[in-house]
Amino acid sequence: MTSRGTTGRPARAASAAVDTLPGVGAQLAARLADAGLCTLQDLWFHLPLRYEDRTRLVPVRALCHGQPAQVEGRVTQVEQGFRGRPQLRVALADAEGDVLTLRFFHFRRAQAVRFRVGCRLRVFGEPRLGLLGPEMVHPSYRLLAEAEAAPVADRLDPVYPAVAGVGPRVLARIIGAALDRLDAEAELELVPPDWFPVAAGWSLRAALLHVHRPPPDADLAALALRQHPAQLRLVVEELLAHHLSLRCQRVSLQQQGAPALARRGALSARLRAALPFALTAAQHRVLEEIEADLARPRPMLRLLQGDVGSGKTIVAALAALRAVENGQQVALVAPTEILAEQHLQSLRGWLEPLGVRVGWLAGKVTGKARRAVLDALAAGELEVVVGTHALMQEGVRFARLALCIVDEQHRFGVHQRLALRDKGGAAGVPHQLVMTATPIPRTLAMTAYADLDVSRIDELPPGRKPVRTVVVSSGRRLEVMDRIREACARGAQAYWVCTLIEDSEDVQAQAAESTLVELQKALHGLRLGLVHGRMPPAEKAAVMQGFKQGGIQVLVATTVIEVGVDVPNASLMVIENAERLGLAQLHQLRGRVGRGAAESTCVLLYQPPLSPLARQRLQTLRETQDGFVIAERDLALRGPGEVLGTRQTGLAQFRLADLERDAALLEQVAALGERVMAGLPQAVEPLIRRWIGQAVRYAEV
C-alpha cells in the first residue's frame, strides 16, 4: 500500500524503491532493506545523529577540549611505538607553528608510511589535552597535494546512524540522491503544517532539507541541542506516530470480543469480610473502575499505579475473584521469581480458603509438576495461576482465560505483555490489568501507556508509619553496624543492600559477598543471610523464607529485593552506595521497611564526595515519601529512559525525539493525537508506517 497525502492522491517519489537511485544495485538495496530502508521516504527519514563542522579551519591554539574541529598543517614528526600496545603518533604543526599530536592505536603499516615529514594534512576530530599538549585520537584525515587548493565544506556534514555493510560515505551519497528527488514530492504532508505550532512556518519538506543539509548560516547551537524549529517539526510528528501506534493497538484490541464478567458472586464479599483490614477509599474507587471495565464485552486495558505498600495486590485479588465468579481463569505474571512467589503466597492465603485453586508456573517448575499445571490450565481445572514470563510461552494453554494481571510492566517488553492476548482462546481477548509500584509521571503515561486507561491508588492504608530516612557518609559504617546490632537485640530484622555482586576495581562499591564476610565479623553472634540474582532459585527462595520466618536477622542483598518482598518485622534498611541508584529505585527499596508496627529507618550510605545530582536525589528521599512526587522529580533528574525502563520497545527506538529532552511536548502530542484520530483518520496508518517503518507495529493484531 502506498502512502497518501491529505488530498488522498498516492505519493510518487516517497514510495519509489531505493534501487531506482543511481548506483544502488541489488546487493546494496538488500543491505539497506535489512535496516528498514526500502523506499526513498525511508531514506528521507533516516535522520542525522549529529553534525560535523568542516566549514572552517581552526588554529591549534583555538581548539577547545571535547569540541570537534578541523585543523590543517604539516607533519613534523612520525613515531611508532610498541611498548604496551602498538601506537602511531603524528605531530602536526599549523601555519602558526602550534603543534597538534595525532594518536592511532589501530593502524596498518601501509597507513603509517603515508605520513611523511613535510606532507600537508587536514584532520577532523575531537581534541583533548594530552601530556604533550592538544591531541586527537583516531581523527579522520585527508592527505593534501603540495599545490592543492582544498576548499572547506560549504555546509555541515551530517553523521547518519550506521547501516551494516554500507560505509558512511556511501550512505550519505545515497541519502543525498534521495533528497534530490524530494523536490518533486508534492504529497509529503500527512498533517497540515499549521497543526504544529511549535514549528510555525516549517513545511515537512523544508524541515527535512534543513536537517539533512543545514545551510552555512544555520543555527549550529540549536541543531546540536536538537531544538531547531526544523527538528521540532520532525520530533512532534515522530512522537505523534508512536502515540498513534499505541492508540491503534487499543482500538484494534477493543474491537475484539472479551468475556463480560458481569456476575457478582459471594466470593468477593467473603474475602472482604475475612480481611483483617478495611479497604481505603482509593482502593474502593479503583476497584469500581476495574469491575466496570470487566463487566463490558470488550477487553479492559488498564494501568494500576500505586505507591509502595498502597495495597495493589488485594485489588488484583478481588478483580481475579470477579473472573472466577464468572467461571473464567486468571493469570498473574511478575518479572522475577521472588516477586511472583510473594504474589503466590498472598493469593493462596486469600483465595484458597474460599475454595479457589491457585497454581504456580515458573522456570524452576519442571517435569511432572510442570505438566500437571499445564494440563490443569488446559482443562480449566485451575482457576488462577501465578508465574513469571514462563506463563507467556507458546506451550501454555488455557481453557478460558479472561483476565491477565501483569505486575511491574516496565520490566517486560511491550510484546511480552501483548503475547498474553492470544491466550484467551474461544473466550476472546483477555482483560488486561497492568500494575506498577513505580508511579509514572502523567506526561510520560500519555505517551508510554497511550493504549491504557490509568487508575491510581493515591493513599496508603491507615497505620502505615513513615520511614525515617537518614543520609550517612560511608566513613560512619561502624556506627551503622552498631545500630543494626542494637536493633536486632530488640528483636528487629534488617536489610543491607549492595549494588554489586562481585568486587570491582573500577567502581567504588562494596560487593554483596565481601560485605557479608565483613558483617559476619562485625556482627558476630547474629544470623546473617545472602541473596542475589545469580543464586539458584531454590537457594534464593530458601534464604528469603528464612528471613521472613525470622531465622535470618540481617539479610545482605543486591537490588533483587527491590520489589515484592514483604517482611513486616524488618524495620531497618541500609542502602550502600545510595548515590549510584536512581530515585525510583531508592524509593522502591525503602518500601521494603515500614510494613509493621515498629518505627522504621532507612540509612542511605554514600561514598563522598557527592555530585550535585546525587545530592539532589538523596535530599529528595529525605524530604518526601510520596511516590508520585518522587516520580516527577525522578523524571526531571534521570529522564524517561530510566523511569520507563529500556525494554519499552517502540519508545526506545526514536530517530530524533527524546522523551527526556522533549517531555514538554508530550501534552501537545497527546492533544494532536486526538485531533488526528478524529479529523484525519486516513493519515494515521501512513504516519505510523513512516516513522516505525518495517518494525513490528502495535496496531497489528
Q: What's the Cα-to-Cα distance from 415 to each of 35, 330, 392, 489, 545, rounded to whole Å?
A: 20, 19, 10, 49, 33
pLDDT of 79 strictly over 80: yes
| Dist CA 402 CA 406 (whole Å) | 13
Question: Residue range 486-506: average pLDDT?
Answer: 76
For the chain, how far is it from start to end, CA to CA, in angstroms? Answer: 18
φ/ψ bin of 463: left (φ > 0), alpha (ψ from -120 to 50), beta (otherwise): left
| pLDDT tens sequence across 44-54 | 999 998 888 88
Contact 59, 94 (CB under 8 A): yes
DSSP code string of 105-174: SS--HHHHTT--TT-EEEEEE-EEEETTEEEEES-EEEEE-TT---PPPSSPEEEPPPBTTB-HHHHHHH
Contact 607, 577 (CB under 8 A): yes
Indicate if 468-624 has the same CATH topology as 226-464+661-701.
yes
* pLDDT category of residue 500 using cuts at 50, 70 and 90: low
pLDDT of 133 strictly over 60: yes
Given this model, what pLDDT does residue 109 score? 82
| Dist CA 494 CA 477 (whole Å) | 15
| Dist CA 558 CA 207 (whole Å) | 48
Given this model, what pLDDT does residue 415 score? 60
What CATH fold (topology level) applies to the domain 468-624? Rossmann fold (3.40.50)
Given this model, what pLDDT does residue 330 score? 95
Give the phi and the psi of residue 395 in degrees, each rounded to 5: -75, -5
φ/ψ bin of 97: left (φ > 0), alpha (ψ from -120 to 50), beta (otherwise): left
Given this model, what pLDDT does residue 651 score? 45
| pLDDT tens sequence across 252-278 | 777 888 899 988 889 999 999 999 888
The reply to whether the predicted model has a pTM over 0.95 is no
Residue carrying C-alpha cell 531508592? 586
Given this model, what pLDDT does residue 333 score? 92
| pLDDT tens sequence across 14-35 | 889 999 999 999 999 999 999 8
Given this model, what pLDDT does residue 184 score? 56
The better pLDDT of the pair 283, 439 is held by: 283
Query: C-alpha angle 649/655/656, rounded to 5°?
Result: 120
Mean pLDDT value across the chain: 84
Task: Describe the crossing of helices 168-180 and 204-212 by its angle, rounded to 10 degrees.
Answer: 150
Residue carrying C-alpha cell 572547506? 152
Give the phi and the psi of residue 655 in degrees, each rounded to 5: -90, -40
Given this model, what pLDDT does residue 135 score? 95
- Given CATH 2.40.50.140, say whether it is the number of domain 56-144: yes
DSSP state of 280: P
Query: C-alpha angle 409/414/415, rounded to 5°?
Result: 130
Class of domain 226-464+661-701: alpha beta
| pLDDT tens sequence across 369-425 | 899 999 999 999 999 999 988 888 878 889 999 999 998 755 555 566 666 777 776
Question: Residue range 441-464: average pLDDT?
Answer: 73
Contact 66, 136 (CB under 8 A): no
Q: What radius of gyration, in Å, describes the C-alpha atoms of the chain?
A: 30
| pLDDT tens sequence across 516-567 | 999 999 999 999 999 887 788 788 888 988 998 999 999 998 877 755 567 8
Structural domain boundaries in the chain: 13-51+156-225, 56-144, 226-464+661-701, 468-624
pLDDT of 636 strictly over 70: no
| pLDDT tens sequence across 642-677 | 444 433 333 446 888 887 678 788 888 988 999 999
Residue 234 burial (CB count, 10 A): 25
* pLDDT category of residue 638 using cuts at 50, 70 and 90: low
Given this model, what pLDDT does residue 218 score? 84
* pLDDT category of residue 362 using cuts at 50, 70 and 90: confident
Cβ burial of 245 (10 Å; 0-12, 13-18, 19+) is buried
> Considering only CA atoms, which of 384, 370, 245 is closest in space to residue 691?
245
* pLDDT category of residue 148 using cuts at 50, 70 and 90: confident
Question: Residue range 167-188: average pLDDT?
Answer: 84
Contact 530, 557 (CB under 8 A): yes
pLDDT of 211 strictly over 70: yes
